[in-house]
Amino acid sequence: MAVTVPDILDMKRRGERFAMLTAYDYTTASLLAEAGIPILLVGDSLANTMLGYPTTLPVTMAEMLHHARAVARGAPGQLLVGDLPFNSYHASDEEAIRNAARMLQAGMHAVKLEGGGRIAELVGTLTARGIPVMGHLGLTPQSVHLFGGFRVQGREAAAAERIAADARALQESGAFAVVLEGVPRALAASITHRLDIPTIGIGAGPDCDGQVLTVTDMLGLTRGHVAKFVKAYAALGDEAIAAARRFAAEVASGAYPDDAHSYH
């Protein structure tokens, strides 16, 4: 049975916690679907994880759509959310509607936008046109230069109140869920408690309705620095390197391919 937006709202009503993971390609998406992950996000984090950029700002709508189509082919039964990348919903509502619609035509079931009160009207416009919207507040990576780096947001009382007000504005505009990224645990807990729509945390503590990680962090594929909140549930990066070394060694020694891996 396909996972839908109403299913996610029902989970909040029942107090059921759920997982969301990013997916960027067909094969990974099909594995995550087999694992029963209800929501897959084609995140603009693919700028970092798949394309090697230092921020999410350079990724284009065309690149996002390319990955969205692959994920949609791999996991058509999951609730698929596509990030609207930087500069795809900033210039005008018309442009935002067109780009959100392209995401749905690529097989996504919803779009995710960064921002609170300043995009609330746009969230209402999209929702009224049948396009479900997931919000994203706190350490929103598309605003990294405004924040002066990837820093936890909402530590001071005034900033915390702004984020809480933004969350309420998103709910009132029709958003069906909101990602809370890089905010103090107590703030995420209080927003979660007050909203009727689910919160999905990343670096926001254990009290959100759902939790999201990038699939590359979750599988232990990320090399170098990982954020404090990341927990790797496998060490596939190390395994991949070891496997590649074994393959190269067997090629060098002539052990691969042997007779069993040859045609006769």
Q: Which is nearer to ligand KIV, 166 or 181 (CB)?
A: 181
175 binds ligand KIV (CB under 6 A): no
Could you give the CA distance from residue 11 to residue 13 in angstroms, rounded to a whole number?
5
C-alpha–C-alpha distance, residues 150 and 139, integer Å: 7
Q: How far apart are alpha carbons 69 and 163 in whole angstroms?
A: 33
The token duo for 252 is 């060098």
Letter for the amino acid at 122?
A: L
SS3 203: coil
Q: What is the 3-state secondary structure (H, E, C) of 209-220?
A: CEEEECHHHHCC
How far apart CA 172 and CA 149 sit, in angstroms, is: 30
Rounded distance between C-alpha atoms, residue 111 and residue 71, angstroms? 14
What binding mask, one character per residue, do residues 90-129 give for ligand KIV by CB under 6 A, x or -? ----------------------------------------
By CB under 6 A, tell whether 166 contacts ligand KIV: no
Stretch that binds ligand KIV, among 38-46, 57-65, 219-227, 250-258 (CB under 6 A): 38-46
Site stretch for ligand KIV (CB under 6 A), options 37-45, 103-111, 151-159, 222-230: 37-45
Query: Judged by CB under 6 A, does residue 85 bind ligand KIV?
Result: no
Can residue 187 be called a binding residue for ligand KIV (CB under 6 A)? Answer: no
Contact 72, 20 (CB under 8 A): no
Q: Does 61 bind ligand KIV (CB under 6 A)?
A: no
SS3 (DSSP) at 158: helix
Instruction: Tell me how crowded residue 169 is: count the other CB atoms within 10 A of its CB.
Output: 21
CB of 211 to ligand KIV, least distance (A): 10
Q: Please work out, in degrees rounded to the nearest 5, the angle formed at the alpha carbon of residue 20 by the alpha carbons of 194 and 47.
A: 110
Q: Least distance from C-beta 42 to ligand KIV, angstroms?
A: 8
Among 21, 22, 120, 166, binds ligand KIV (CB under 6 A): 22
Residues within window 189-248 making contact with ligand KIV, judged by CB under 6 A: 202, 212, 214
Active-site pick, 16, 63, 161, 181: 181
Q: Which residues pair with 83 in a beta bridge?
A: 112
CB of 49 to ligand KIV, least distance (A): 8
Catalytic residue list contains 250:
no
| 179 binds ligand KIV per the rule CB under 6 A | yes
CA distances 180 to 1, 94, 167, 199, Å, are 28, 27, 9, 7
Query: From the CB of 247, what's the least distance to ligand KIV, in Å?
Result: 31
Q: Select from 32-40, 41-49, 92-100, 162-170 the region that touches ligand KIV (CB under 6 A).
A: 41-49
**Minimum CB distance to ligand KIV smaller for 33 or for 139:** 139
Q: Which residue has the tokens 């049948």?
A: 130
**Catalytic residue annotation:** 181
Binding positions for ligand KIV, rule: CB under 6 A: 22, 41, 43-45, 83, 136, 179, 181, 202, 212, 214
